[in-house]
Amino acid sequence: MKTFIALLPALALMASASPFRLANDNSSVEDVTPSIKDVPLSTKDVSLEPLAGNTTTPGIDSLPTCAVPCIEVAIKSASDCELDDLPCLCKNRAKIAKSAKKCILSTCGAKKTQKKVVPQVQALCKAEDKKEEERRKAEKKKEKEQEEARKKAEKEQKERDKKQREDEKKKEKEEKKKQKEKEKEEKRKKKEEEKKKKEEEKEFERLRKEEEKRKKEEEKRKKKEQEDAEAGENEKRDDNEERGEPDFTLEKVKAAHTWWKLDKEHPVKGEPF
């Protein structure tokens, strides 16, 4: 941590003089570092003075005392980092350097070169940069997996919806087919009933005609029998007349009429005529 703090003044100088910027540089960060005249050389909550002249970083002689107040204020104003939070300091090193550069330039001057600073800062934050890169890769991988999972879920949902639509369509088709078969069966039954009814009516009409024919034949037969009987009677009468026998007898009258019967209350004696 002392090494990182020792590099910040030179890093600020490098940021102001270099034609390129370090990673995580944010050019939109305003310089809010006050002038050295407005900054006390020691603060109670943040103090880097104990680190001055106590660095062992190769290529850096020492932390200039004049830069200590500038760095103290820059850390507080440009980040929310604590002095012992190396990941936070590395992540915000560009902001801190940019915030402190004006104060350091006006106070200390450009005493350190970027050739000495860049390798040290990069080496110091290499592990943290690697962790940050791994974290970003992990987040990117997680986002990719989530996106793939989302797409997979959408695809599965689409397939389910498609299957559901196909099932509904198939079910509707089957229902229509069943309804059509049902209507066809009803028509067939109705047709058979109508056919059966017509056959029954036809059979009834046939029987009626046969009955009428039978009755006519029966009447004709009876009429013929009657005619034959009358003809026989006439022939017999003619025969009786020829023999001189009477054709009009009491038995025939009794057989044809009932008025001759005697009334029990009013008996009539003798023959009825």
DSSP 5-55: HHHHHHHHHHHHH-SS--TT--TT----PPPTTTS-S--SS---GGGTT--
C-alpha dist (Å) from residue 149 to 107, 134, 136, 142: 56, 22, 19, 10
- CA distance linking residue 123 with residue 126, whole number of Å: 5
Contact 112, 13 (CB under 8 A): yes
Q: Six-digit token pair at 231?
A: 């003809």
| Chosen domain end from 172, 190, 214 | 214
Claim to verify: residue 134 and residue 73 sit in the same structural domain: no
Claim to verify: residue 119 and residue 160 sit in the same structural domain: no
Confirm whether 183 is domain-assigned.
Answer: yes
Q: Six-digit token pair at 32?
A: 């809010």
Confirm whether 248 is domain-assigned.
Answer: no
Claim to verify: residue 60 and residue 97 sit in the same structural domain: yes
- Domains: count for the chain: 2
Contact 81, 88 (CB under 8 A): yes
> What is the model's pLDDT at position 119?
58
Query: Does 78 have pLDDT greater than 60?
Result: yes
Claim to verify: residue 154 and residue 113 sit in the same structural domain: no
Confirm whether 268 is domain-assigned.
Answer: no
This prediction has a pTM of: 0.38
Claim to verify: residue 69 and residue 113 sit in the same structural domain: yes
Q: Six-digit token pair at 242?
A: 């020829």
Amino acid at 233: E
Claim to verify: residue 19 and residue 119 sit in the same structural domain: yes
Claim to verify: residue 10 and residue 119 sit in the same structural domain: yes
Confirm whether 242 is domain-assigned.
Answer: no
The residue ranking higher by pLDDT, 91 or 259, is 91
143: Cα separation from own chain's centroid: 26
pLDDT-wise least confident of 79-83, 122-126, 195-199, 240-244: 240-244
Look up the domain containing 92 and give its range: 2-124
Amino acid at 194: E
- Nearest by Cα to 15 from 56, 74, 76: 74
| Chosen domain end from 198, 214, 230 | 214
Claim to verify: residue 11 and residue 117 sit in the same structural domain: yes
85 is in an annotated binding site: yes
> What is the model's pLDDT at position 40?
39
Claim to verify: residue 8 and residue 112 sit in the same structural domain: yes
Claim to verify: residue 205 and residue 174 sit in the same structural domain: yes
Average pLDDT over residues 211-230: 86
- Nearest by Cα to 100 from 159, 35, 45: 35
Confirm whether 265 is domain-assigned.
Answer: no
- CA distance linking residue 60 with residue 7, whole number of Å: 8
Confirm whether 55 is domain-assigned.
Answer: yes
Claim to verify: residue 12 and residue 101 sit in the same structural domain: yes
192 φ/ψ angles, rounded to the nearest 5 degrees: -65, -40
Confirm whether 207 is domain-assigned.
Answer: yes
Claim to verify: residue 12 and residue 116 sit in the same structural domain: yes
Confirm whether 38 is domain-assigned.
Answer: yes
267 φ/ψ angles, rounded to the nearest 5 degrees: -65, 145
- 39: buried, middle or exposed (CB in 10 Å: 19+, 13-18, 0-12)? middle
Neighbours of 21 (CB within 10 A): 14
> What is the model's pLDDT at position 168?
94
| Chosen domain end from 76, 92, 124 | 124
Query: Does 249 have pLDDT greater than 90?
Result: no
> What is the model's pLDDT at position 12?
46
The residue ranking higher by pLDDT, 264 or 104, is 104
Ramachandran area for residue 113 (φ above 0: left; ψ -120 to 50: alpha; else beta): beta
